[in-house]
Structure 1
Amino acid sequence: MRFLRSVSVLLLGSLFVALRAAPAPSVDDRVRDLLSRMTLEEKVGQLVQYSSREDMTGPASDSSLTPQLEKGEVGSMLNVVGAEQTRKWQQIAVEHSRLRIPLLFALDVIHGYRTIFPIPLASASSWDMARIEQAEHIAATEAAAAGIHWTFAPMVDIARDPRWGRIAESAGEDTFLGSAVARARVRGFQGDGTFAGTDRVLACAKHFAAYGAAQAGRDYFTTDVTERQLREVYLPPFRAAKDEGVAAFMAAFNDLDGTPCSANPFLLDQVLRREWGFKGFVVSDWASVTEMRAHGNVTDVRDAALKSFNAGLDMDMENGAFGPHVADLVREGKVSMARLDQAVSAILAAKFRLGLFEDPYRFSDPARQEKLLLHPDHLQAARDLARRSCVLLKNQGDVLPLKTSGLKIALVGPLADAPLDQVGTWHAQVDRKDTVTVRTALQKLYGDNLRYALGCDTRSDDRSGFAAARAAADASDVVIVALGEDVFQSGECTSRTSLDFSGQQIALLEELHHAGKPVVLLVMAGRPQLLDKIEGLADAILVPWHPGTMGGPAIADVLTGAYNPSGKLPLSWPRSVGQIPLFYAHKNSGRPEPKDPKDPYFSHYIDSPNTPQYPFGYGLSYTSFAYDQLRLSTPALPANGTITVTARVRNTGQRAGEEVVQLYVRDRVGSVTRPVRELKGFQKIELAAGEARDVSFQLTSADLSFWRRDMTYGAEPGDFDVFVGADSTATLTASFKLE
């Protein structure tokens, strides 16, 4: 008996050791196992994404989806918001379907969920990657508490045409800056990609690709760029997002080289999967598969489903094509089971990574949602990023900063007390009552010494408010005028042929200028507004863009000097629409503009300078900075070596301030023409008054690489110029040779 007991103990011990030693199945193993048990219809269901029709009232109002959910024929839903609603929909999917496969809930969390941060174009103006990452982490934290698993962000399109409304969602014109912002935003949303906690969401790089190059700045319109331009300008931010581990890509609405991006095998298969090795999944934009009929490259929706799915599109947003047709296409042999399994595997893997099979409700937590939305720490972070995103364009006579006592302030304009307009486009679950406006913030500082008048709205011809606005100006020491765009004048489908302030806003500014008081102009918009003809009407010009929930206090901080502005433009600010597209990294013609033209036969306008109103990278401070002592670690860069570029930066003003030190490079001669200069590095530093610091950058041949004449990628030996300074017109220069 004792022997049998000993044997039993040994056997149990061996079994325990074996069980402990058995590795947990990998995500790939679990995906393969689940795939083996799925029917064709269940597999196709994972490709389907529906938008909720619930109007925030719950699943009962959209019962038409219930049968499909119970059959496991829906993989994802968008526009379901709130912890309670996401739990209800998830319950139907996992408690009534055969395989209990959870749904992915997606939402456009573009610059915040409930706490709204500055629009992406504004946050890019901060040139502060750590705080951009923090903003997206907060957005993910709030969204995840409400049950959202996946955001349709970041948008990483390079945008060089401010007529295009979606420039508001971009990081501007530059590939290097745009790539840095893309990486920061993916990190913010996804963290390290393990999703061990419930404070991260899947990110989605969009719109793949060249959507920002829409002809004439018209949204959804065609693009026509060369492969070299595509690879050098428009694709690098997407590659940066991929390298940072982004979970998903979204195909763009536009066609590229004659093929809509939703069915473009060059983009979705050749570049994304074969060249870059992307393992995630690709979703269409809203109904973009069915809209291929209007493009004219498919005969019907079935043909659109065939071409887009075989090209590499994995999920059909709004399910106009995949759900109705992919199963039949598989049965007919026009779509392979291997291709179907590839798409489904990527989607299932994302659900396993999120831990939804262990707990499908782990992100839908009403108590956590109540605790985290608009958390004081989130509001403070939003305020901090908003003030760092403000760009000071003009400060004649040092009218700014303003004293907080002894001044009578007139605050005028349609953006001064506009809680919804202030947060800007794609504002997720904003509640306008949460927005702290400029008026509210300045009222707190100045009390009865603040006089407010609307003046006019952003669109109409009504001037009935001018008299009250002028009276406020006449009774004040300083006039602050908040002009710009309302919430519906930028973002998706808001292309404009004019970048002038709309309605009677310019006339209002002229009226206030005639009061003879110092005028501070706030440009609160989703894109540049033309200032060339009206710059003289304002003594100071500050661009807060659409600054989000805490924009009012942030602007007040900058106006009063509680924060010294440090924002820099992420785009070239045009003088006129006729200059567009306008960007600093252009190429020279055979007749570039000379410094001292002797005859008219060079590339120029006869009615305007070639230069922008304000250059890329430009932004003033309440202090001043000087650059000198530029030096290189070596006159020649070996092919596999590194060269260090160092410059001395000195704060020559009377107060501490932050400066974005920028490094530009020019390749003098290439096998193909090269840009006049390209951003290759930047550092945001803070210097006390009188303090000086050496700022260094390292360059390798990889930083000098481009798509050569034979369409191979690499650097070419030769001479290079470097420029270090405060913006893209930097004149402090040195040269080196790449061996």
Structure 2
Amino acid sequence: MEQKQLFDLLKQMTVDEKVGQLLQLAAEFYSEKAEEKTGPMTDLGLSHEDINNAGTTLGISGAKEAIRVQKAYMEHNRLGIPTILMADIIHGFRTIFPIPLGLGSSWDLEAAKKVAEVSAKEAAVSGLHVTFSPMVDLVRDPRWGRVMESTGEDHFLNSRFAEAFVKGYQGEDLKNDFFRVAACVKHFAAYGAAIGGRDYNTVNMSERQLRDSYLPGYKAALDAGAKLVMTSFNTVDGIPATGNKWLFRDVLRKEFGFDGVVISDWGAIIELIPHGIAQDKKQAAELAIKAGVDIEMMTTCYTENLKELIEEKTIDEAILDEAVLRILTLKNDLGLFENPHRGADVALEKEVVLSKEHREIAKDVAKKSMVLLKNDSILPLSKQENIALIGPAADSHDVIGVWSWQGKKEEAVSLAEGVQQLGAEYLIGTETFDYFNPSEAAITEAIALAQKADTVVLALGEEEWMSGEASSRSDIRLPQAQLDLFKAVQAVNENVIVTLYNGRPLDLQGIDSAKAIVEAWFPGTEAGTALADILYGEYNPSGRLSMSFPETVGQVPVYYNYDNTGRPYKPGDEKYVSKYLDVSNFAKYPFGFGMSYSDITYKDLKLSTNEMTSDETITASITLENQSDITGQETVQLYIRDQVGEVVRPVKELKGFEKITIKAHEKRTVEFTITEDLLRYVHSDQSVTSDAGIFDIMIGANSRDVETATVKLVK
């Protein structure tokens, strides 16, 4: 459909029909069962006409149902306008991949793009058109449950992943490629900075910090072509994002040039009332539409009030028209006017969803996402070793994570099943071991198995519900029952390897004396096969943390790119510096950290010159040597520090990385090109520029262990 035809369609619409386009309703409103509709209709005060005019639909499942709903919807819609079917496809549709925080730990952009492609394909043949992904919120506080949905604490890394996800979801020709879906970047803005790590809580930061650290990830997703933006629940400079005109009209629309659809998060418009900036639904509707929110998800502030607001001239109908036109344009970009059922295909759905090929991709990505945190020469295991597999996660299928809407736990592979598939010898108990309150029989059996074995693989972690939305935790240690189990097992067998399934960085006090620790995250459908490959050396670990692990929860937020103070702490300082009395300032396992079964050293950092101008570049090179007999993958990381800035600058910032394979006993030189734009930052007047002066150039295996040289920028 041409743009002129969209304008003509808009002119034919009544105000009620226009307002309807701004309403998103959940799947139950389109159920064939009357009882499933009646309750929600009554609760929201909706009529059948409201439902028939609602412009988008949330959470439809399956090609057959998607086709039925679209057909019925268009029959009831006076102008035959199709609905858009949207859903939360966060890290897989039916084939579930590692949670985004795990994907971030792969540092593998092609893997992330492939995850998005597979997710889009499965979702599209099942009838969906839009995914509420990627989430690019910068996260620094592991108490916040939704850190699992982010790719981590660094805006440079988040930005690269944001681009990869959007390109994977949308492809090159969204209108004609029915195996793709439109991407919705979220949550705009700064949702990940909630005070105290408590979900939905207040965010309080300067505009400069917002621009410097938090906005780049969203901007990268938009530059990659993301079609939608979702509002965040939090405040931005005292104004809830969903009613924040400066945030959406000035920053998103004018500065970033975004002309796509803005959708509220679930109920976020009506939440302007308890936030305290709207006295009722009518004022909430006024604030949100003036701010530029096009679609209201699952509340009826717009439905009940926009027409009246127009009639009394509180808002101009032109504001409504521009929102409707953006929604119609999205429907056109998806090709829905020509193909209202788009990719929905019952036969293809059976062939594509959870296919053998997709499971193999899930296994590959899961292996890349797992991080070896510790290894006292106990890994990899031999298949002939006498292994005891113990703990609540040993034979658990609770491995896919909370944001796996269509994923099925029974289709996932447990660790025990993964070890069995490898043909390795192992002992495992018959008692079910609870995560929080194991029976005496289960504990007794576990200790007996540990006594018989040469080595214990102790599978611990969180249950799915313990991370994700509305799952903030003040204590991010493992449950006490698991710590007690570790202590009891270690008392009879010192050769303990801990594996972890979880959705956030943990405080590992109580298990940090294990001989090895493998962070597996929630790895998805092929969890057990991937983790078994890591444990038995079928795959050399290559994951690197995308978020720091604290020594103790009392340090959080703890992150690598912190600002120095006037009294900076150095190990050994006693007092009157910025430090704790009872713990160091630094993470237990820092951003970028991860071990492998290879022994790779870094040396001879060299710069092509020690001075540069704004239009010159510098080559920084470093030599890596694999001093082991095992080929490995290494993520070489480039960090830069501006020694003297117009405002205080972080002690280091990630500016580049390269993932390489280095063969046994091979030497390789890795080079980075440093340009002036890598030295820029947001100044106090919000301008983005660089300063003349000295910069530290750092290259290493993680954010802590780096080689350093200096360069001078001359202007």
TM range (shorter): over 0.9
SS at match of 2:25: strand
TM-superposition CA deviations, 1:616-649 (whole Å, max 9, x none): 1000000011112212222222212322211112
SS at match of 1:542: strand
Pairing 1:576–2:552 present: yes
On the 8 A contact 2:402/2:468 being kept in 1, the answer is yes
Pairing 1:267–2:247 present: yes
SS at match of 2:399: helix
Q: TM-score, structure 2 length as denominator?
A: 0.96
Matching residue's letter, 2:523: P
On the 8 A contact 1:118/1:545 being kept in 2, the answer is yes
SS at match of 1:616: coil
Pairing 1:246–2:226 present: yes
Tell me the distance in 1 between the aligned counterparts of 2:33 and 2:374.
50
Alignment-derived partner of residue 14 in structure 1: none
Alignment-derived partner of residue 281 in structure 1: 261
Mapping for residues 33-48 of structure 1, pairs under 5 Å: 33-48=8-23
- The alpha carbon displacement at 1:730 in A equals 2.9
Tell me the distance in 1 between the aligned counterparts of 2:63 and 2:681.
47
Pairing 1:687–2:662 present: yes
Structure 1 unpaired stretches of 5+: 1-24
Alignment-derived partner of residue 391 in structure 2: 413
- The alpha carbon displacement at 1:449 in A equals 3.6
TM-superposition CA deviations, 1:114-133 (whole Å, max 9, x none): 00000010111000000011
- The alpha carbon displacement at 1:54 in A equals 6.5
On the 8 A contact 1:289/1:308 being kept in 2, the answer is yes
Structure 2 unpaired stretches of 5+: none
Tell me the distance in 2 between the aligned counterparts of 1:603 and 1:362.
58
2:533 alignment partner, one of 557, 560, 568: 557
Alignment-derived partner of residue 642 in structure 1: 617
1:470 alignment partner, one of 447, 454, 459: 447
2:370 alignment partner, one of 372, 390, 397: 390
Matching residue's letter, 1:123: L
Tell me the distance in 1 between the aligned counterparts of 2:153 and 2:108.
17
Alignment-derived partner of residue 608 in structure 1: 583
1:399 alignment partner, one of 366, 375, 378: 378
Tell me the distance in 1 between the aligned counterparts of 2:521 and 2:431.
19
- The alpha carbon displacement at 1:731 in A equals 3.0
Tell me the distance in 2 between the aligned counterparts of 1:57 and 1:561.
52
Mapping for residues 224-235 of structure 1, pairs under 5 Å: 224-235=204-215
Tell me the distance in 2 between the aligned counterparts of 1:243 and 1:450.
52
- Cα distance, 1:611–1:373 mapped onto 2, change above 3 Å: same
- The alpha carbon displacement at 1:58 in A equals 6.4
Tell me the distance in 2 between the aligned counterparts of 1:474 and 1:294.
57
Matching residue's letter, 1:491: G
Aligned residues: 709
Mapping for residues 206-225 of structure 1, pairs under 5 Å: 206-225=186-205
Matching residue's letter, 2:434: D
Pairing 1:731–2:709 present: no
Per mean C-alpha deviation after superposition, the further-off stretch among 353-362 and 526-535 is 526-535
- Cα distance, 1:62–1:87 mapped onto 2, change above 3 Å: farther
SS at match of 1:465: helix
Q: Percent same amino acid among aligned pairs? A: 41
Tell me the distance in 2 between the aligned counterparts of 1:444 and 1:55.
43
Q: TM-score, structure 1 length as denominator?
A: 0.93
Alignment-derived partner of residue 329 in structure 1: 309
SS at match of 1:356: coil
- Cα distance, 1:554–1:265 mapped onto 2, change above 3 Å: same
Q: Which has the larger radius of gyration?
A: 1
TM-superposition CA deviations, 1:301-323 (whole Å, max 9, x none): 11000001101111000032111
Tell me the distance in 2 between the aligned counterparts of 1:371 and 1:283.
33
- The alpha carbon displacement at 1:193 in A equals 4.8
TM-superposition CA deviations, 1:80-106 (whole Å, max 9, x none): 111111111111221232211101001
2:491 alignment partner, one of 497, 508, 514: 514
Alignment-derived partner of residue 237 in structure 1: 217
Tell me the distance in 1 between the aligned counterparts of 2:406 and 2:178.
19
Tell me the distance in 1 between the aligned counterparts of 2:193 and 2:561.
15
SS at match of 2:53: coil
Alignment-derived partner of residue 273 in structure 2: 293
Tell me the distance in 1 between the aligned counterparts of 2:63 and 2:458.
41
Tell me the distance in 2 between the aligned counterparts of 1:339 and 1:269.
12
Tell me the distance in 2 between the aligned counterparts of 1:55 and 1:429.
19
Mapping for residues 437-516 of structure 1, pairs under 5 Å: 437-446=414-423, 449-452=426-429, 456-460=433-437, 462-516=439-493
Tell me the distance in 1 between the aligned counterparts of 2:682 and 2:364.
39
- Cα distance, 1:69–1:701 mapped onto 2, change above 3 Å: farther
Matching residue's letter, 1:154: P
- The alpha carbon displacement at 1:503 in A equals 4.1
Alignment-derived partner of residue 10 in structure 1: none
2:639 alignment partner, one of 664, 669, 673: 664
Mapping for residues 537-548 of structure 1, pairs under 5 Å: 538-548=514-524
- The alpha carbon displacement at 1:337 in A equals 2.0
Matching residue's letter, 1:411: L
- Cα distance, 1:179–1:521 mapped onto 2, change above 3 Å: same
Pairing 1:527–2:507 present: no
Tell me the distance in 2 between the aligned counterparts of 1:57 and 1:480.
49
2:27 alignment partner, one of 52, 55, 64: 52
1:675 alignment partner, one of 623, 643, 650: 650
- Cα distance, 1:684–1:704 mapped onto 2, change above 3 Å: same
On the 8 A contact 1:457/1:503 being kept in 2, the answer is no
CA RMSD in angstroms, aligned pairs only: 1.8
Tell me the distance in 1 between the aligned counterparts of 2:181 and 2:289.
25
SS at match of 1:737: strand
Tell me the distance in 1 between the aligned counterparts of 2:403 and 2:166.
18
- Cα distance, 1:514–1:453 mapped onto 2, change above 3 Å: farther
On the 8 A contact 1:70/1:96 being kept in 2, the answer is no
